[in-house]
Amino acid sequence: MNLLLVDDSALVRKNMRKLLRKVNSLDSISDAGNAVSAIDHIEKEHPDIIILDLRMPGASGFDVLRHIQEHNLSTLVIVMTNHPTETNRERCMMLGAKYFFDKTNDYPKVIQLLHNIETAVP
Domain that holds residue 77: 2-120
So what's the pLDDT on residue 118? 72
Query: pLDDT tens-digit profile of 17-70?
Result: 999 998 988 999 999 999 999 999 999 999 999 999 999 988 999 999 999 999
Sheet holding 2-6, edge to edge: 28-32, 2-6, 49-52, 76-81, 99-102
Above pLDDT 90, what percent of the chain? 89
Residue 53 has φ and ψ, to the nearest 5°, of: -80, 150
Domains of the chain: total: 1
53: helix, strand or coil = coil
Give the CATH number, domain containing residue 96: 3.40.50.2300
So what's the pLDDT on residue 120? 66
